[in-house]
Amino acid sequence: MALYKHAVFLDKSGDAAFDQLQRPSVPAPWPGIYRCHACGHEIAIAQGHALPPQNHHQHEPGVGPIQWRLVASHKAY
Ligand SMILES: [Zn+2]
């Protein structure tokens, strides 16, 4: 779970970018914090970098494949 202390530095967004699931290894459409939809593992991605590959971390059988969901971004539009 992403943490923060000072809410004044964050704005809530209704952008659809936060609803999309991204496949492993694709260029991250936005920089920021991403969460694995299947297991909750979180990562941070800089502008212009690709999301981690399918072998980034292991899932127990039945959990499903890695899919990355944007959690927080400074440029989600
Ligand atoms: Zn995962």
Cα-to-centroid distance, 54 and ligand 1 (Å)? 9
Residue 25 inside a domain? The answer is yes
Cα-to-centroid distance, 28 and ligand 1 (Å)? 16
Whether the per-residue pLDDT at 76 is higher than 50: the answer is no
pLDDT tens for 21-58 read: 999 999 999 999 999 999 999 999 999 999 999 999 99
Residue 8 inside a domain? The answer is no
Cα-to-centroid distance, 8 and ligand 1 (Å)? 30
pLDDT band at 74 (very low <50, low <70, confident <90, very high): confident
Residue 52 inside a domain? The answer is yes
Cα-to-centroid distance, 22 and ligand 1 (Å)? 12
* Structural domain count, the chain: 1
Give the contacts of 22 (CB within 8 A, at least 6 positions apart): 28, 29, 34, 51, 67, 68, 69, 70
Residue 64 inside a domain? The answer is yes
Domain of 35 in residue numbering reads as: 17-77
Cα-to-centroid distance, 46 and ligand 1 (Å)? 19
Residue 11 inside a domain? The answer is no
**pTM check: above 0.75:** yes
Residue 56 inside a domain? The answer is yes
